[in-house]
Copies of this chain bind each other. A is one copy, B any other.
């Protein structure tokens, strides 16, 4: 039993952004596992990376190169995270960039590396370098769908979305793809997400736009509470559109920014829907808090509770576990009498106890749904927050007990 899989929608090409995918045989022969992305001259790039102290070698190298100037290429491999690989890992990531740079005739620093997969194994650099020409030969503005496949690890479906917005009489396209299924509790970005637009926008404004979008999307999801070593989310603006530069603070910028956030939310939710073993997609809303921080604290305590997650798997309205999670979230002076808990619109807890009008049948009906909302009202302020998560199933254990072996 898994959540209904969504077909990959049509991914619209973004002028000035090409993608090439091939198989380097990293994990097994024939599987797409190497993706190259090429940015047109004049494109600019914003990025956010994991805050895990043990960040992977490619994250370190990409950060360094970005600080030197705008990139021209990305090289992404799956099947190996190049994390926990020390100095050798850094050398390996640089060598992949160097290999692509030689083929493309650019500097090595203009190539950003990204890796995802198993942690702690040496990166198979030779395989990657050997497959580089094939990936380069495939570069195409219509390469999104193949790339969405080529970056997956334990994911069961590719994830991508496109939007178009009309700004100043021009049609601006935003297309993004993402991968991620386990080790998902992004603390800056998801495992990997690549988003491109043909809009023209200054680096500072682009970074601001991405930071806002990530905060409301990838930073509001959790599958298992484990923050990856390789999280990265990149937004490229190719400036291929004739539209003039988007100015931060303008109405047009706002329209654009909201569209980017929309793309990120869709990708982030797709990651949760494809969470390892997930059978239910759950929105946790905490409102009436004294601050956003305490709302998030309660929301994540619920979203990470193994007991809540297994009750969700069972479709059992075992609200006592939600209540216990709220109680251990560490909020000072929490007034139990003021707390209310809802499953969708069914009130299950009021004044610290089961709501008088609650029936098990009503709770069961909501818990049987593929998608549902747990809503908590704290009754101590006007802040609110929302996070997305999934249940904890047999398959989560199976996938993670089998992975790597």
- Residues from chain B with a CB closer than 8 A to the CB of A396 are 306, 310, 397
A164 on the B face (CB < 8 A): no
A204 on the B face (CB < 8 A): no
Contact B401 A397 (CB under 8 A): no
Contact A320 B225 (CB under 8 A): no
A291 on the B face (CB < 8 A): no
- Residues from chain B with a CB closer than 8 A to the CB of A68 are none
8 A Cβ contacts from A21-70 to B: 51-55
Q: A328-B187, A405-B316 are in contact. Are A323 and B400 (CB under 8 A)?
A: no
Chain A contact residue count (CB 8 A cutoff): 66
Q: Mark A389-405, 1 if CB is under 8 A from B, else 0.
A: 00011101110111111
A319 on the B face (CB < 8 A): yes
CB nearest to A328 among chain B residues: B227
Cα distance A182–B310 when bound, in Å? 12
Cα distance A354–B118 when bound, in Å? 13
Contact A89 B353 (CB under 8 A): yes
Contact A327 B404 (CB under 8 A): no
A3 on the B face (CB < 8 A): no
- Residues from chain B with a CB closer than 8 A to the CB of A225 are 304-306
Q: A54-B327, A354-B84, A401-B313 are in contact. Are A182 and B319 (CB under 8 A)?
A: no
Contact A316 B120 (CB under 8 A): no
A216 on the B face (CB < 8 A): no
- Residues from chain B with a CB closer than 8 A to the CB of A53 are 326-329, 331, 334, 336
A352 touches which one: B86, B306, B331 (CB < 8 A)?
A: B86
A381 shortest CB reach to chain B, Å = 16
Contact A228 B324 (CB under 8 A): yes
Cα distance A118–B405 when bound, in Å? 38
Cα distance A343–B293 when bound, in Å? 37
Contact B353 A85 (CB under 8 A): yes
Contact A224 B334 (CB under 8 A): no
A362 on the B face (CB < 8 A): no
8 A Cβ contacts from A299-355 to B: 304-307, 310-311, 313-314, 316, 318-321, 323-329, 331, 334, 336, 349, 351-354
- Residues from chain B with a CB closer than 8 A to the CB of A224 are 305-307
A259 on the B face (CB < 8 A): no
- Residues from chain B with a CB closer than 8 A to the CB of A255 are none
CB nearest to A310 among chain B residues: B400
- Residues from chain B with a CB closer than 8 A to the CB of A314 are 400-402, 405
Contact A182 B307 (CB under 8 A): yes
Cα distance A52–B334 when bound, in Å? 10
Contact B351 A86 (CB under 8 A): yes
Listed by A's residue number, 22 A-B pairs whose Cβ atoms lie within 8 Å are A52-B328, A53-B328, A53-B336, A54-B324, A55-B327, A83-B320, A84-B320, A84-B349, A84-B352, A85-B353, A86-B353, A119-B320, A119-B323, A120-B353, A183-B324, A224-B307, A226-B305, A226-B306, A226-B307, A226-B328, A307-B400, A316-B405
User: Chain A: residues with CB nearer than 8 A to chain B?
Assistant: 51-55, 81, 83-89, 118-120, 182-183, 185, 187, 224-229, 304-307, 310-311, 313-314, 316, 318-321, 323-329, 331, 334, 336, 349, 351-354, 392-394, 396-398, 400-405
Known: A120-B323, A185-B328, A226-B306. 8 other contacts (CB 8 A): A53-B334, A84-B352, A84-B354, A86-B354, A120-B318, A120-B320, A120-B353, A313-B397
Q: Which 7 A-B pairs have the closest CB atoms?
A: A119-B320, A86-B353, A54-B327, A310-B400, A314-B401, A227-B328, A120-B320
